[in-house]
Every structure is written in C-alpha cells, then in structure tokens.
Amino acid sequence: MSGIDTTPLTSLLAERGLFLTQDDGDASAAVYICVQDGLPGGYPIGYALPSRTGTWFAYARSRPGRIFACDQVDAGLWSLESALRSALAHARYGDVLHALEKATGSDATYTVKVPRSWAPQLSALPGVIGCGGGTLRLTSAAYAFLRGQPERGGFYADTAGRLWLAGESYELRRESRTGG
C-alpha cells in the first residue's frame, strides 16, 4: 500500500490479528481491513472508501454470517485513519475466527481473573463460565468470539492472550487439554 501512512494504526491492527490492504486494480481506491486467516489476501471485515468531496466513508462487517457483506457505518470523515478506525470500531468477525479455530481442531480452554463487576456480563456469553471470585473459563470458541468483538463494545481479546475491559488488560491463561 504505497502512499498511505497508517503508522498510528499498526499496533492496534497487529494486536487484533488484522492488516490493511489495497487492491492496486481497484479504481475506487478502497483500503481494506482484513483478518489474517492464512490466505494471502486475508478475509475482509471492513474498508474505507474516499468520496468525491475529499472525505471518507467507513464500511464494516457488522452483521456476522453475511459472507463478504459490509454495511456503511460512517460518512463524511476527514481522514483515512478516522475511516479505518470507525470501520474497526464496528466490525464483528468472531464467527470467522471461530471457523478458523474449528478448522485447526483446537479444543483449548482459557482462564482469566477479571473484576467481579465484569464477571456476570461476560459469563452470559456463550462458552464463558463463571468460576467464582471473578475467575472465568473460556472455550476456544468464546476466545475467538471475543477477538472478533468491535472495540467500541468495551471488551475484546487480542492475539497476545489478553482480555481488554474498559481499557484495562487481563491475562488469559491457556489450560492444557485436561484442564490443568
């Protein structure tokens, strides 16, 4: 992607397992946010599109299950970075990550100790079990779901094994197959 300075986004994208790409043959000049799914082009979860007036539109995969379908989530943005951040803030792609986890045959579980105020909200998610005292157990599917949560939701997981809750990170410990 020549001519596009995305340095401020680099670490955020890397921790979410995402990257930017631009199709050189695309006359629209769209910049895509893609999941690193093992294929060269990745899986697109959102994109920024310039307008004729010099502003940007943001599109995101905001309805999981719709293959390659993105909805407009913002318009009139003054920079490419703000459009990409808006797309990332709305993108939901946990179903894609879950499919990748299933394809690898992973049956790992994870534990994390979170503030007790977060435990009820998180344990209501599929694959998350409250163990008391703010300790949660997550299936690999739940971890994949949390990695694909939009940032604006206040909680998500990254590829480095951290669960982020309102800007604070908590270490996810991978358990062995026998649970210990």
Mean pLDDT of 128-144: 90
Q: What is the mean pLDDT of the chain?
A: 84
Distance from C-alpha of 56 to C-alpha of 27, rounded to nearest angstrom:
15
Question: For the segment 27-66, what is each residue's pLDDT rounded down to a tens digit?
Answer: 778 999 998 776 778 889 999 999 999 999 999 998 766 7
- Strand order of the sheet with strand 173-175? 128-132, 135-139, 109-113, 173-175
% the chain with pLDDT above 70: 87
